[in-house]
Structure 1
Amino acid sequence: MKIEKVTLDHQEFFSLAEKYGSVFFTRRWLAMYPSSCLEIFMILDDNNQIAGGFFHYKINLLFLRCFFLPPYTPHNGFFLIPRKESITKKYSFEKKVHTLIADFYRQKRFSLVSLALPDFCTDTQPYYWNNFKVIPHYTYVISLKKTEEEIFADFSSGRRYDIRKALKDGITVNQTKDMTLVMELVKKTFSRRNKKLNEFRLTKILNEYSLPENSFAFVASWKEVPVAAAFCIHYRNRAYYLLGGYDSSHKHAGAGACCLWEAIRHARSLGLEYFDFEGSMIPEVEAFFRDFGGKLIPVYTFNRAVVWIEIILKFIRRNTF
């Protein structure tokens, strides 16, 4: 088995990546990132046949060579083409592939590696065995196969009350194509939390990637003033809650929840089967997502740094290193 670097114009590889991978391994999504940073890799089996792939985002910080995820991309896109074999052979093959990837990064000249795997990747032993630190993160996923009534009934009583009260108070929620408005509300949220916003990349997602057939946005208004927004992308059977925004100067406790509820209902109306909140390790955001009754799913990150950087990171990012 081996790993080879490919580009976006590799037709055979991307026909498979877009068939078996997620929305984050489509050419339209990856085309938003500069080729000088985005590196895409093809996994070849022992018969030199395409078996899967993954990517990373290469950044040079002064003299540090780092491999991260592209901005607003939740994982490294890892996918494998399904194989018709026994469960034991399946697990053995997957372990062999992840060992190959772990060895691939060990042999690279790097200062820091921090990459997340998709939520279906639960066997992270090869990274652990190769001295990567494996850290769990979490997301919530709602099954849209249930009825609206069943989905709403799974919400916490507090979240259901917030939504009902918001509607009673006159909160209105409408689908929007005004991505400038969505951007403004997202910016307010980042500003309120003192978080850095990559406005250039966000603009590309909202204005270049977004199409009626791959995404949707909802805005909640109170007294005709926009107060909350939810932006989702979708691919095949899954919707992803990618961005949210909230104007705390005109706040209403149920505005954000109403917006998300309409996004969930819309995703179901499109025939999608899952609504993925894309998770958060911020306690108050996690609690907000949890109240929507989705299934808690772990997502694993593997991290490694050269010794002196790891020592420093143990003090400033103890939960990661």
Structure 2
Amino acid sequence: MTNKEQYRAFCSRRNDLPPFLCDWWMDATCDDWDVAIEKNGDNIAGVWPYAISKRIGVELLRNARLSPYQGPFVSFPADLKESNRDGFEHETISAMLKQIPSAKVWNLALQPGIRQVGMFRNAGMQVQVQQTFLIDLHPTEQELLSNMKENLRRNIRAAEKEFDIADSSEHLNKLYEYQKHTLTGKGAGQPYSLTDMQKLMDACMQHNTAALWVAKKGGEIQALVWNVWSADTSYYFMGSQKPGGDSYRAITALLWHSIKEAKQRGNKTFDLEGSMDAGVEKFFRSFGGRRELYLVLKKNHSFIWKLKELVS
């Protein structure tokens, strides 16, 4: 069996893989991809799906389209002592790193929880950090609410009377439209197309790992939140609000709805997927989650790409 065939079999047996690493997600977001696999005896110890693309003749290893986290996933043996976990992770990721084909440019955001900074630096990477906020879903709904800022709780109470919320994936075009309007206003381009989004949504729905929560008021869409999940973790994948509208409460209501749904589904954690933007960070922080840093691996050994970054 090829590595990709082994990986598809591995994915079919596991429901705890982050969705952004699953074979079907890679199929939906990459033109071409492969996977590094490390074994511990007959068992798979780690997997690292990756996509190497080429632009202006330069090979790039980056997160696939629409993929906030990627990189390695380590499958720890059930009987592994806690004191040996770090060593097992280090050896497994190090072995997989050697299997990945050379690419002169890297820009890869890893999922939270991987902290092997020394290994990546020794491999010639620059290691940067970004942040997210993780909400523990074990407490009761009332306890989750009480952990939030008072103004957020007030908005949630008001929103419950103001908005109708439903799972409506047919409104994906509205999410794209609202996002595009926001990005255009900031002088930025849309990094993906509606076709890209629809292909991924179709794959998510086929694997029962997503919902598009829509908040309406008077029959008009005020905000949308795309929520994806694995067995363990639910993610605020993306969202947007009606251009020109005051939809702060609508986004708040949709996130609270996503959190409640995740808890009912049995997820352990809700990942707000963070932001380095001060305003967004303040908003996410008010939900009472725990700040978590995650690694971003960077490398640029291409003179052409350095020139491109200088002029872009």
Q: TM-score range by the shorter chain?
A: 0.7 to 0.9
Go from structure 1 to structure 2 and tell me whether the alpha carbon gap of 1:226 and 1:10 turns closer, same or farther (over 3 Å shift): closer
The residue matched to 2:20 in structure 1 has which SS? helix
Task: Tell me the equivalent position of 2:57.
Answer: 63
The residue matched to 2:51 in structure 1 has which SS? strand
Task: Tell me the equivalent position of 2:181.
Answer: 191
The residue matched to 2:224 in structure 1 has which SS? strand
Aligned 8 A contact 1:227 1:255 in 2: yes
Choose from 287, 297, 301 the match for 1:302.
297
Task: Tell me the equivalent position of 1:73.
Answer: 67
The residue matched to 1:160 in structure 2 has which SS? helix
Q: How far is 1:100 from its partner?
A: 3.1
Deviations 1:276-321 (A, max 9, x none): 112222332222222211111111111111053675588689xxxx
> What TM-score, normalized by structure 2, do the two folds share?
0.86
Q: How far is 1:144 from its partner?
A: 1.5
Percent identity of equivalent pairs? 18
1:275 and 2:270 aligned: yes
Aligned 8 A contact 2:24 2:203 in 1: no
Aligned 8 A contact 2:227 2:238 in 1: yes
The one of the two structures with greater contact order (alpha-carbon pairs below 8 A, sep at least 6) is 2
> What TM-score, normalized by structure 1, do the two folds share?
0.84
For residues 227 and 99 of structure 2, the distance between their equivalents in structure 1, rounded to whole angstroms, comes to: 33
For residues 207 and 302 of structure 2, the distance between their equivalents in structure 1, rounded to whole angstroms, comes to: 47
Go from structure 1 to structure 2 and tell me whether the alpha carbon gap of 1:252 and 1:24 turns closer, same or farther (over 3 Å shift): closer
1:126 and 2:116 aligned: no
Deviations 1:183-228 (A, max 9, x none): 3134312331234141222111223322483222221122321110
Unpaired segments of 5 or more residues in structure 2?
A: none
Go from structure 1 to structure 2 and tell me whether the alpha carbon gap of 1:287 and 1:23 turns closer, same or farther (over 3 Å shift): same
For residues 252 and 52 of structure 1, the distance between their equivalents in structure 2, rounded to whole angstroms, comes to: 42
Aligned 8 A contact 1:52 1:78 in 2: yes
Task: Tell me the equivalent position of 1:38.
Answer: 33
Aligned 8 A contact 1:232 1:242 in 2: yes
Relative to structure 2, which stretch is displaced further, 207-216 or 112-121?
A: 207-216
> How many residues are treated as equivalent by the alignment?
306
Task: Tell me the equivalent position of 1:27.
Answer: 23
Aligned 8 A contact 2:52 2:103 in 1: no
Aligned 8 A contact 1:190 1:197 in 2: no
Go from structure 1 to structure 2 and tell me whether the alpha carbon gap of 1:262 and 1:91 turns closer, same or farther (over 3 Å shift): closer
The residue matched to 1:66 in structure 2 has which SS? strand
Choose from 172, 178, 191 the match for 2:163.
172
Choose from 129, 139, 148 the match for 1:136.
129
Q: How far is 1:9 from its partner?
A: 6.4
**What is the one-letter code of the residue matched to 1:303?**
K
For residues 288 and 92 of structure 2, the distance between their equivalents in structure 1, rounded to whole angstroms, comes to: 34
